[in-house]
Amino acid sequence: MLVFAVETSCDETSVCIIGNNKKIYSHITYSQEEHKKFGGVVPELASRAHLQIIQKISKNALIEADIDIDDIDIFCSTCGPGLIGGLLVGSTFAKSLAIGSNKPFVPINHLEGHLLSTTFNNKVEFPYISFLLTGGHTQIYLIKSVNNYILLGETLDDAVGEAFDKVAKLLKMSYPGGPEIENKAKLGNKSAFKLPHPLHKNKNLNFSFSGIKTAINLIVCKQKNIDEKFISDIAASFQETISKIIESKILFTLDYLKKRKINISQISLVGGVAANQFIYEKAKKISHDHKCSIIMPPKYMLSDNSAMIGWACIQKYLINEFSNLYFKANPRLTIKDNL
Ligand code: KG4
Ligand code: ZN
C-alpha cells in the first residue's frame, strides 16, 4: 500500500510517499523562511507560500521515489488543527489528487500524527503516556490504542513551543526560537534567574507558561546591559524551568495513573520541543528512576512533517478503511472529534 501524505498546517510544506512496509520512498519538507523577520508565523504569508511550493515538491517527491501517481493507493492530508489557510491549501490539493486518481482520501488530525509518530520505530506497549510538546499544543495523553486517546492535561494558556518562541523574541533571536535557546543555554548558568513554576500545587496535570514569559519580560526590561552572558543565563534558566515543569508533570502523571491502577512502562515525547536534548535527558532520567522508559519518534518526525501524517493514515486505514472526501478542514480540530 502506497500513501501520498501532505502536511501544511503551519509553516512547513511537506509531502511524503510512504508504504505500509514502513518504507519512506520520499519525504520533502520546505520550511518557510518568510516568517523569520516577523518573529512568528504570519498566516496569510504561510498559505501563499504553501500554494506556491506544493505542486513543485509533490512532483519532486514522485520523481525522487520513482513512483507514478497512478501507483499511489491513498491520498491523505492534515485537516486540522492549524492555520485554516494552510489546511485548505493542503487538503484541497490532496483531495484533488484523490479525485483525479479515483483513490480514497483520508483526513488526518495533526495531533494524532504527532502522537502516533512514536509507533513508527518503537515497539509500544499500550497503554502508554504521550507528552505532546509543540508550538501550538502542550498536552498529556494516555494512549490506549490507535484511535483511543485520553486527554489527561493540557496548557491553559501558551503552548510550550510558543513560550520558547516568545522568550526568543524577547532576546532578539530569530524564529523559531527553540533551537537557538537550546544552543545559548549550553553556555549559561541555569540557576542565574529564579522563574515561576505555575500549577505546581495539588499535583495538577495542566500547564501554564504565560507567567514565565512575563517574568522574563520584566527581567529583560530591567536589564541595562543585554550582553551574551545575560542572554545565555536567561536561556539556561528558562530551559531549566521548562524541564523541571515537564519532570514534575511526569511524576504527577505516574502518580495519577498509579492511583487508578493503570500500569504503564513507557513515556513518549513528541512534537518540535521534544527535539530539545536537555529536556529529553532530564525526562529520561526521571522516567528511568520510576521504572519507565522514554520512547521517541525518529528525529525527522519530531517537528512538523508529512511522514507522520502518512504513517498515521496507514495505521488508521488498516483498522477501519475510513475515507472521506467531504471532510472539511477544521482549524480547531481536537482529538475528541477523532477522524
Ligand atoms: O511540532 P512543531 O514543529 O509544530 C507544531 O505542531 O507546533 O513544533 C514547533 C515548535 C516551535 O515552537 C519551536 O521553537 C520548537 O518546536 N522547537 C524547540 C526545539 N526545536 C523546535 N523547542 C525547544 N528546543 C528545541 N531544540
Ligand atoms: Zn505539529
DSSP conformation letters of 153-168: EEBSSS-HHHHHHHHH
Helix ranges, the chain (H): 43-65, 84-101, 110-116, 160-170, 177-185, 210-222, 228-259, 277-289, 307-320
Model confidence pLDDT, tens digit, residues 130-174? 999 999 999 999 999 999 999 999 999 999 999 999 999 999 998
Nearest CA to ligand 1 atom 21: 272
Q: Is the C-beta atom of 164 inside 6 A of ligand 1?
A: yes
Q: Is the C-beta atom of 161 inside 6 A of ligand 1?
A: yes
C-alpha 292 to ligand 2 mean position (Å):
25
Domain tally for the chain? 2
pLDDT tops 80 at residue 26: yes
Q: What is the average pLDDT score of the chain?
A: 96
Same domain, 179 and 276: yes
Same domain, 11 and 109: yes
Q: What is the mean pLDDT of residues 210-238?
A: 96
Look up residue 178 and give its three cell numbers. Answer: 527553540
Model confidence pLDDT, tens digit, residues 249-280? 999 999 999 999 999 999 999 999 999 999 99
Same domain, 80 and 140: no
Model confidence pLDDT, tens digit, residues 31-78? 998 888 887 889 999 999 999 999 999 999 999 999 999 999 999 999
Q: Is 279 among the domain residues? A: yes
For β-strands 12-19 and 24-31, DSSP reports them as antiparallel
pLDDT tops 80 at residue 338: no
Q: What is the mean pLDDT of residues 297-320?
A: 96
Give this prediction's pTM.
Answer: 0.96
Same domain, 7 and 110: yes
Q: Is the C-beta atom of 180 inside 6 A of ligand 1?
A: no
Range(s) of the domain holding residue 167:
124-296
